[in-house]
Chain A
């Protein structure tokens, strides 16, 4: 075999290897999802979903916890994140040091591991402010965690709004604030909504932050935002490591269904609004 032929042969072998890896990836990723579905679905029942936590475990506290954490995180992160993105895209043309610092800060925030956010939340809310373990502390910590995500994707959808619309609006005599609220934000709405939904997905799948901030109290309904609680993802961990593997898998199924639903909603919103934007454009 000549050197040339050997080279060709080697590249072919690499191709077969790559195809094998593709097969393996699909097998592993879908295998995990299918396994969790198969082992969890038979154990989903009314007691687990909506029963009181007594002799048998229930995820009712976790459902309430996840819902309130998600709302809390979004209510805090959405205005601040959208405001930041507006400032970065609409008010700054020059590359000042401050703007660079804000960008670097946001990038750094997005790279911090969630357990470090957890420690931060614990130190600030549980210790310094004396909340002990609370849903409120967890929600605020999660809001800070998803902030960079909201900022970045909102910025992208703001930048996608054609410059000519802004110019036309200003030329008609609208003030900058009016332009932002009547032209820019409505045009970017689909992108912003999609980013908020994906941020909600991040909150729902998070657990390392919560183990340090809301206390993993799986068996009591939280009474207020100041009481400790649990979330779906935390329940999966708790059940899994405390001898309820079946309930863990069933909770995992609920979590997966919520996540898939959220992703589909994001795709759907993108499509619906995407069409509307095309018509305007």
Chain B
């Protein structure tokens, strides 16, 4: 009898250990990612010099690894894409919240969720064979379709499902009594939604914005198909440029040897950006809770 108990107890603590080891794996993976990136990236930055690495010229033949143009391009693309996505997505969420036939809301939500799963290469392909030629023929002043505008529009569309569903959840979480109270005070439905409900859902909507910024700055495939790829300072919306992510992906297919380390260093910069965004996202979530 006692041996059976001992067996059961041993099995219990064994399994506890196994589950614990699984849980430690997350920590271990994150530690490895940080270690590998920093161990390769930081010495590279130190070797070529921060002034070179954050300089304005990327020319591998002269050992110039300036990624400032790519940082600027990433910021431009991310900002513009977020602007497009947020204006459209927030409007959509508000319309779905109160200004849309009740029967339509559920199917539209399902559809938006389904579209959130569309792979980013599909968006990139659409950009490549429809948007870029369209911009080149009809909009662009200089006959170039590639560039910041094309990438921003594609990314703006891509982050739409995220923005719509997160901000709709935030709106749904606002107590119904706010709505009724405002109507009882004599406000119209429209006034209530725009002056009471949307401000009340502010922190959730802000979380949606941060989430979409993080997605936009980290997106690679959709961007490299429409951005062009020249490592130059962005001066116009219609000009072949390169973002941080595009620099890594394009370099990966072209470079080898020591130059690859420059890509790792680029990855470190991108990693720092997203870490910062993640922290602000969890702070926002904590504030809401």
Interface residues, chain A, with chain B CB atoms under 8 Å away: 7-8, 11-12, 14-15, 17-22, 24-26, 28-30, 32-33, 35-36, 39, 79-84, 86-88, 90-91, 101-102, 104-109, 111-120, 122-124, 128, 144, 147-148, 151, 175-177, 180, 201, 204-208, 211-212, 216, 233-234, 236-237, 240-241, 245, 248-249, 252, 255-256, 259-260, 262-263
Contacts and interface: CB of A to CB of B under 8 A. Distances in A.
A263 B23 contact: no
Given A79-B22, A102-B27, A113-B217, A33 B129 contact: no
A17 B274 CA distance: 32
B234 to A, nearest CB: 20
Given A33-B115, A122-B260, A147-B25, 15 more contacts: A12-B190, A14-B190, A22-B99, A29-B112, A32-B123, A39-B129, A83-B19, A111-B277, A117-B33, A118-B252, A128-B36, A151-B26, A205-B117, A205-B118, A237-B125
B275 A17 contact: no
B55 interface: no
Contacts of B29: 105, 109, 144, 147
B23 A102 contact: yes
Interface string B22-57: 111111011011001100100000000000000000
A36 to B, nearest CB: 6
A88 B32 contact: no
Contacts of B60: none
A113 B114 contact: no
B248 interface: yes
B139 interface: no
B26 A8 contact: no
Interface residues of B, number: 87
Nearest to A28: B157
B121 A105 contact: no
Interface of B: 8-9, 11-12, 15-16, 18-27, 29-30, 32-33, 36-37, 40, 87-92, 94-96, 99-100, 108, 111-112, 114-115, 117-126, 128-130, 157, 160-161, 164, 188, 190-191, 193-195, 214, 217-221, 224-225, 245, 248-249, 252-253, 260, 263-264, 267, 270-271, 274-275, 277-278, 281-282
A29 B121 contact: no
A241 B9 CA distance: 60
A33 B225 CA distance: 17
Contact of B245 (A87, A113, A180, A234): A113
Given A102-B26, A120-B32, A245 B129 contact: yes
B190 A20 contact: no
A19 B8 CA distance: 62
Contacts of B253: 211, 216
14 contacts: A11-B188, A25-B89, A30-B111, A32-B157, A87-B20, A109-B29, A116-B271, A119-B37, A119-B267, A177-B11, A177-B15, A236-B121, A240-B124, A259-B118
A84 B25 contact: yes
A79 B188 CA distance: 54
Contacts of A28: 157, 160
A26 B108 contact: yes
A11 B20 contact: no
B119 A207 contact: yes
A248 B19 contact: no
A147 B271 contact: no
A212 B108 contact: no
Given A15-B99, A91-B20, A259-B117, A106 B26 contact: yes
A84 B274 contact: no
B228 to A, nearest CB: 12
B19 A86 contact: yes
Q: Which of A32, A212, A260 has the most chain B CB atoms closer than 10 A to its own CB? A: A32
A185 B16 CA distance: 15
A123 to B, nearest CB: 5
A116 to B, nearest CB: 5
A208 B19 contact: no
Given A25-B160, A35-B130, A8 B191 contact: yes
Q: Among the interface residues A28, A107, A116, A259, which one has the most CB atoms of the partner chain B within 10 A?
A: A116
B129 A249 contact: yes
Contacts of A260: 114
Contact of A252 (B27, B122, B282): B122
B26 A105 contact: yes
A211 B249 contact: yes
B164 A241 contact: no
B248 A118 contact: yes
Contacts of B249: 115, 118, 208, 211-212
